[in-house]
Structure 1
């Protein structure tokens, strides 16, 4: 972090110290004699990325989402890789979406759209051709040769949603975009999310299972769609994984008419816990998921960042 950024961060720290929830985080609330807030905010705005971050590290969530601290790009890690995984993933998503919206599904179509996406993302043409394209080419050619890689009647891409979900202390406003929705003959929709990260192990699958279950909940509640199957497609391996929907037809049928949380299953329960905890400014939660990720934390001022090992 440069000197200007450090001064900005220090200024934000000083300003934010007036808030009781930051004093609580730093263990200063008792010394300062700050009383807990009597009222909770009416809304908590969340995306899946924010929910995922809070589950793994509430402190990082507050720094980045509530206090808007500047985060450092992982320059060392990017230099070791030789490319930016975020840019690669964005370009692949844009290529597939734009080709399919144009009714195209050949490998050359995807590669053409990938080059356009790299240009739109500010990737130098030479870097695109020598670094990014060789990785994406294998993925997109394999995808084009699969049934999933061909245009489907009525399919929706990057479908936006906005769902309001009342919980005990507040109302969660959950927003996002669904990579692909495919209509079925029985009137239901299959939901697919595409991943480009190199590693897709048990921890990542746990995260993305929650993501798809929350997206299915949003489809039912905000879009009025009945969801059939949930899938993850992993571009690096070309694999399609079926994910369990914990709020399928059986769960909905057994839930009471006024029990939205029961109808939403475990994913809705996590949404409620996260929303209530954030509304109260809590950092010590008994439902936190393993591995804070301190080793690669982008928040340089976080007091937990000096930990040498993740849990």
Structure 2
């Protein structure tokens, strides 16, 4: 085995062993590591910090605690408690606010238990966040392939010395492979969307910035109709989606500040309802109200497409 291969195996084993040790300590302490992905809790929790959470009943929560609660299916918000309204059934309605946000979250969260912050480690989660990017996933895949090649391919010297590798070599290789597998699992798990703060916009909340609904216009022609609108000037890069009444998507075209969808292929006398919504990327609950436009095919009357 080459010197590079030995270094790679030893480094993999060392890093993997540290991850296994960290996982074991978290299990013993009853805490869950979570990588912070947004700046809504800055400066207390910076992007890339690993927050350590422990489950607690809602009745034990007090103002000032930092908790993680379910905000939508699969998403959690990690913010500070600003008010607690206990309920007779043991649950509580919590009002939360990110330290970097000017106002509380739009609505209270009614919960029976929460994941409460008990500590954090700054910066440690930044490599994990990078590994979740396309470049990071590609690098991780290349690393795994390289390590596999080092493990299964004996060096020329090994082949000359013995047909069967020594136990020490086998042990080190097995330890490195096992530790590296544990590293991959440990590194990626805390960044799951269900346990990372999904709010990608910091410094404000929905109550401080309402997403404007697009104002639609429509023009009919012989073979199709065009529903268009002007992209709203916003501090955030709004995205627009357009669907029909059954939820099927239209392709949203863009040119400068103009956005539009084309409706065609309708049977004579048929109509379609185009629903258009604006949203802030990375913030699932930050959406505008939906505006609609009806398009009707009048081909049977020789009049092409019309709007109403």
Q: Do the structures match in fold with TM over 0.5? A: no
Query: More strand per residue: 1 or 2?
Result: 2
More helix by share: 1
**What TM-score, normalized by structure 2, do the two folds share?**
0.20
Q: Which has the larger radius of gyration?
A: 2
* TM-score (normalised: structure 1): 0.20
